[in-house]
Amino acid sequence: MIDTAGLRVMRAIADEGSFTAAAHKLGFSQPAISQMVRRLEERAGTVLVERIGRTVRLTEAGEVLARHASPVLAALDAAEQEVAAIAGLRSGRVRLMAFPSASATLVPKALSHVKREYPDVSITFTEAEPPESLSALRAGTCDIAVAFTYEGVDLGRGEEDVDGFEVTPLIDDEVRLVVPADHPLARSKSKVADLSTLEDETWIAGCPRCRGHLLQVCREAGFAPHVAFETEDYVAVMGLIAEGLGIALVPDLILRTVQHEDVVALSINPPSLRRIEAVTTPDLSRVPAVKATLDALLLSAAAQPKPVRSRARATTAAR
Amino acid sequence: MIDTAGLRVMRAIADEGSFTAAAHKLGFSQPAISQMVRRLEERAGTVLVERIGRTVRLTEAGEVLARHASPVLAALDAAEQEVAAIAGLRSGRVRLMAFPSASATLVPKALSHVKREYPDVSITFTEAEPPESLSALRAGTCDIAVAFTYEGVDLGRGEEDVDGFEVTPLIDDEVRLVVPADHPLARSKSKVADLSTLEDETWIAGCPRCRGHLLQVCREAGFAPHVAFETEDYVAVMGLIAEGLGIALVPDLILRTVQHEDVVALSINPPSLRRIEAVTTPDLSRVPAVKATLDALLLSAAAQPKPVRSRARATTAAR
DNA sequence: CAAGAGTATAACTGAACGTTATGAATGACC
DNA sequence: GGTCATTCATAACGTTCAGTTATACTCTTG
């Protein structure tokens, strides 16, 4: 029945004391106010303004509207301000989830960049493995999931389906073979290990998904690896390797943070990549704070030694 | 930027969880909601609703709007209710001013009638002589002035100008001559006194305006009256007359409340009327509570012995 | 895989709301 | 007291906005 325009008009008339002045204040022409008041009166079912000679005065009902106008308009303005703050990156919240080894450098760098550029945007960060972070994204409790997929490896589970999501590749992380320093391969000139020659080795597997990758890579090389140890802790993996208890496939990004004197890393043949990517929804990627964080992640990824591939490849048709 | 419709839509989406359900709740079609949200998002500059598969979920900015919606809409609704109450006579205020002798029966009867019909309409009543009540009407501190004019008497003062006002005649009050019971006229058969025969009498004058009326009536009869007393208190006037200290012109309405054993009232020739009328502004007369009070005054006037003339004669052209 | 449910888009329609131009009435100022 | 400026009301008109229906597309579900 009554909308914000009506309130604004009534308040302006109350403040200014005439239709003409109210019109100027609101940037309208005088007849616009005249008609507006007439419409309001029709809707209200009673006179709102007393036209006394060439001046006007509010009636009791008119006073009621004018009196309510300010608080209502103020509350509305507050809401607009909040939204504008979010739109203008002077506010906003981003809930980021990333797998543990991304937390080491990629994510902190991005977070600090956002914090520096937009100090009022608050980012909450939770460590989570990709299946978990993706379902959080689906459930609406997360805005950006930093996940990884092993190129060419289909784990075949719906939980990791990124269909409908927007995927931004960040880093193509080379998967390397780590062997003890006294391993024969450690002395190879080429620093490249042929996977097919590793059938008789004892293997150490990482997280479940990494284990899946190991199995698939080996299957493609023609054998099933003998996995003696499983641990998600890469520090432990290194220790095990150093002690000669096995060898492992370890993404390069991890090797840069978890190092060990007595091990050697080699490239593998055929090469294998772990793709690190930021996953969000098409809608969320247009939320300013989320977009800013995505950009920061890209920037942070570009600062990594390894090259970054193409940008923002949406998996669904553009709207 | 954002109006009540937008708030209503955002709240409905938040409550119902889908565009379709929100549309039903608001009585719109589904595309209407879809477009409304798109418009809102354009204005807000950010995404408000996350379309995730075939369900929707509010973004942070969307939540902000939905959260603000209820208080704002509630305040607005309260304002509408207040106005509707005034329009529906379940509320409202009427500031009535009447000259003292109208307060005796005419006004109380009308007030009690309004009170009975519309118990939530509050009427404030102030005694005031016509010049005063009319200027209050002009100043906006009064809604209805019950005034009187002596027919054919122009007091020639701007203060009593009813130009631009709406005048509702209530009672045509006959002006009578009051003489002591032992006055020769008191024994006249016709009970009609010819003014032109009263040149040698001693007169008692009432209020300033009544005095003006007396002077004019006598001038038209061909003489200037000898006024020995002036008092606004008609009880005193009666006392003076009873004591044989003078005679006076007294409106019939007053004679009905202020009586005295030792006086006699006669009609005069030529006859003179005091017209009692309700004065308000054209706008105020359309305010429900004011209109109801005017009607009650008319009703109350009709209950008086004297006949009431035509109704609601506006002195300005109709708008 | 088909059906059901939900949203997006297109095309259309009508009304609402603004504008300019003009009229009528009031009040102020010579 | 007449004239002039000011103020509100009305008329006519055009544009924009917001709704409708119809239809396409996507996702979930049995």
pLDDT single digits (tens) B245-298: 999 999 888 888 888 888 888 888 888 888 898 988 888 888 888 999 999 999
- Min distance B28 CA to chain A CA atoms (Å): 16
As a whole number of angstroms, the distance between CA B72 and CA A12 comes to: 19
User: For residue B206, what are its two tokens?
Assistant: 């009432």
Distance from CA of B59 to the nearest CA of A (A): 8
The reported pLDDT for the residue numbered B316 is 36
Overall size of chain B counted in residues: 319
Q: Count the alpha carbons within 13 Å of A207 in the hemisphere toward its beta carbon.
A: 17
Nucleotides of D under 7 A from a protein CB: 6-12, 18-22, 26-28
According to CATH, the topology of domain B4-87 is Arc Repressor Mutant, subunit A (1.10.10)
CA–CA separation, B17 vs B301, rounded Å? 62
Q: A200 vs A194, A214, A226, A245, A246, CA distance in Å?
A: 13, 14, 8, 13, 11
Reported confidence tier of residue B14, pLDDT bands at 50, 70, 90: very high
DSSP code for A190: S
pLDDT tens column, A258-291: 888 888 888 888 888 888 889 888 888 888 889 9
Mutate to test the interface with A, among B2, B11, B83 (most CBs of A within 10 A): B83
Q: Which of A159-168, A221-230, A243-252 has the lowest mean pLDDT?
A: A159-168
> Could you read off the pLDDT of B127-162 as tens digits, one per residue?
888 878 888 888 788 899 998 888 766 654 445 566
Q: Among all residues of chain B, which has the CA nearest to that of A61? A: B83
Determine whether the distance from the CB of B28 to the nearest atom of strand D is below 7 Å: yes
Task: Tell me the average pLDDT across A9-14.
Answer: 93
Residue of B110, B93, B147, B92 lying closest to B279 (CA atoms): B147
- What is the band of A198 on the pLDDT scale with cuts at 50, 70, 90? confident
**Architecture (CATH level 2) of domain B173-273:** 3-Layer(aba) Sandwich (3.40)
Mean pLDDT, chain B, integer = 85
Residue in B2, B82, B284 closest to A50 by CB: B284
Q: What are B64-75's pLDDT values in tens digits?
A: 999 899 889 988
Angstrom distance (rounded) from CA A245 to CA B30: 64
Locate A67 and state its tokens.
């009196």
Model pLDDT, residue A155: 56
Average pLDDT over residues A62-66: 92
Q: Is the pLDDT of residue A58 over 90?
A: yes
Q: Locate the chain A residue with the closest alpha carbon to B7.
A: A76
Q: How far is A115 from chain B (nearest CA, A)?
A: 19
Interatomic CA distance for residues A279 and B271, integer angstroms = 99
Q: Tell me if A68 and B84 make a contact (CB, 8 A cut-off).
A: no
Q: Residue A52 and residue B140: Cβ atoms within 8 Å?
A: yes
Q: Distance (Å, rounded) from C-alpha B189 to C-alpha B110?
A: 38
Q: Residue A206 pLDDT more than 50?
A: yes
Output the distance from B31 CA to C10 C1' rounded to whole Å: 11
Identify the closest residue of chain B to A57 by CA–CA distance.
B140
Q: What's the mean pLDDT in A234-247?
A: 89
Non-local (6+) Cβ contacts of B144 within 8 A are: B94, B95, B96, B97, B137, B278, B279, B280, B284, B290, B293, B294, B297
- Residue B9's pLDDT band (boundaries 50, 70, 90)? very high
Question: What are the C-alpha distances in Å from B285 to residues B10, B121, B289, B314?
Answer: 41, 15, 9, 11
Among protein residues, the one whose C-alpha sits closest to the C1' atom of D23 is B31
Round to the nearest angstrom and report the end-to-end CA distance of chain B.
36
A39 touches strand C (CB under 7 A): yes
Buried b (16+ CB within 10 A) or exposed e, A25-35: bbebeeeebbe
Which residue has better confidence, A270 or A25?
A25
Please determine, for residue B48, whether its predicted confidence score (pLDDT) is greater than 90: yes
Please state the rounded mean pLDDT for residues B219-236: 88
Domain extents for chain B?
4-87, 93-171+274-314, 173-273
pLDDT tens digits, one per residue of B73-90 = 988 988 998 999 888 888
Per residue in A99-122, pLDDT (tens digit) is 888 877 889 989 999 999 999 999
Instruction: Tell me the pLDDT band of B310, cut-offs 50, 70 and 90.
Output: very low
In sequence order, what are the residues at sequence separation of 6 or more whose Cβ sits closer than 8 angstroms to the Cβ of residue B235? B258
**pLDDT, position A41:** 92
pLDDT at residue number A308: 38
| Three-state SS at A313 | strand
pLDDT of residue B157: 47
Closest CA relative to residue B72, chosen from A80, A86, A44: A80
Q: Give the CA distances from residue B269 to residues B155, B191, B197, B300, in Å, rounded to whole numbers and listed in that order.
A: 21, 10, 10, 29
Q: Is the pLDDT of residue B319 over 70?
A: no
Flag if B284 and A59 touch (Cβ within 8 Å): yes
What average pLDDT does this structure show over A241-255?
89
Rounded-to-integer distance, Cα B240 and Cα B305, Å: 27
pLDDT reported for residue B134 = 85
Q: Which residues of B touch A76 (CB under 8 A)?
A: 2, 7, 68, 72
CATH of A172-273, one of 3.40.640.10, 3.30.70.3170, 3.40.190.290, 3.40.190.10: 3.40.190.290
Distance A50 CA to C19 C1' (A): 25
The reply to whether B173-273 shares the fold of B93-171+274-314 is yes
**Is the Cβ pair B283, A46 closer than 8 Å?**
no
pLDDT at B305: 63
CATH homologous superfamily for the domain A93-171+274-314: Periplasmic binding protein-like II (3.40.190.10)
B202 touches strand C (CB under 7 A): no
* pLDDT at residue number A314: 38
Q: Considering only the beta carbons, identify the residue of A3, A93, A140 that sits closest to B3.
A: A3
pLDDT over 70 at A147, yes or no: yes
Cis before B270? omega within 30: yes
Q: How would residue A306 be classed by pLDDT, with cut points 50, 70 and 90?
A: low
Query: B8 vs chain A: nearest CA distance in angstroms?
Result: 11
Establish, for the pair of chains A and B, how many residue pairs have beta carbons separated by less than 8 Å.
139
Backbone angles phi, psi at B257, to 5 degrees: -110, -35
In angstroms, the Cα distances linking A91 to A124, A287, B42, B260 are 13, 11, 18, 85
**Taking CB atoms and an 8 Å cutoff, what residues of chain A touch B53?**
164
Cβ of A317 near strand D (under 7 Å)? The reply is: yes
The one-letter amino acid at A189: K
A145 forms bridges with which residues in the sheet? A97, A279
Q: CA of A98 to nearest chain B CA: how many angstroms apart?
A: 21
How high is the pLDDT of residue A255?
85
Summary mean pLDDT of chain A: 84
In degrees and rounded to multiples of 5, residue B51 shows phi and psi of -90, 105
Reported residue count of chain A is: 319
Which residues fall within 8 angstroms of residue A199, CB to CB, at 6 or more apart? A221, A222, A223, A225
Q: Where are the alpha helices (DSSP H) in chain B?
A: 4-16, 19-26, 30-44, 60-87, 106-117, 130-139, 208-221, 234-242, 252-255, 288-302
Does nucleic acid strand C have an atom less than 7 angstroms from the CB of B29?
A: no
**Higher per-residue confidence, A291 vs A307:** A291
In the DSSP assignment, the letter for residue B160 is: G
Which residue reads 């939905």 in tokens?
Answer: B66
Longest alpha-carbon distance in chain B: 107
Q: Left, alpha or beta for B225 (phi > 0: left; psi -120 to 50: alpha)?
A: beta
- Chain A residues with CB under 8 Å of B287 CB are 46-47, 59-61
Q: Is the pLDDT of residue A162 over 70?
A: no
Q: Is the four-CA dihedral A287, A292, A297, A299 of positive or negative sign?
A: positive
Asked whether residue B180 carries a pLDDT value surpassing 70, the answer given is yes
Cβ of A35 < 7 Å from strand C? yes
B68 with A49: Cβ contact below 8 A? no
Whether the per-residue pLDDT at B116 is higher than 90: the answer is: yes
The answer to whether B87 contacts A44, with C-beta atoms less than 8 Å apart, is yes
Query: Confidence band (pLDDT; 50, 70, 90) for A319?
Result: very low
Given this model, what pLDDT does residue B178 score? 92
Residue A309: its pLDDT value, please? 38
Contact flag B64-A53 (C-beta cutoff 8 Å): no
User: Quick check: B119 pLDDT over 60?
Assistant: yes
Residue A103 confidence (pLDDT): 76
Cis peptide before A270 (omega within 30 of 0): yes
Better-scored residue on pLDDT, A236 or A104? A236
Whether B13 shows a pLDDT value over 50: the answer reads yes
CA distance A116 to chain B (A): 22
8 Å CB contact of A45 and B284? no
Rounded to whole angstroms, the Cα distance separating A106 from A117 reads 17
> Which residue is it, tokens 């007369």?
B285
Mean pLDDT calculated for residue range A198-212 = 86
Lowest-pLDDT range of A70-74, A154-158, B16-20: A154-158
The most confident of the ranges A99-103, B99-103, B234-238, B314-318 is: B234-238
Interface contact flag, B5 A3, Cβ < 8 Å: yes
What is the distance between the alpha carbons of residues A38 and A35, in angstroms, rounded to a whole number? 5
- Whether residue B313 is predicted with pLDDT greater than 60 in this model: the reply is no
3-state DSSP call for residue A285? helix
Is there a contact between B281 and A50 if contact means CB atoms under 8 Å apart? yes
Q: List chain A residues with CB under 8 Å of B86.
A: 46, 60-61, 64
Residue at the smallest CA–C1' distance to nucleotide D10 = A31
Answer for A54: CB within 7 Å of strand C. yes
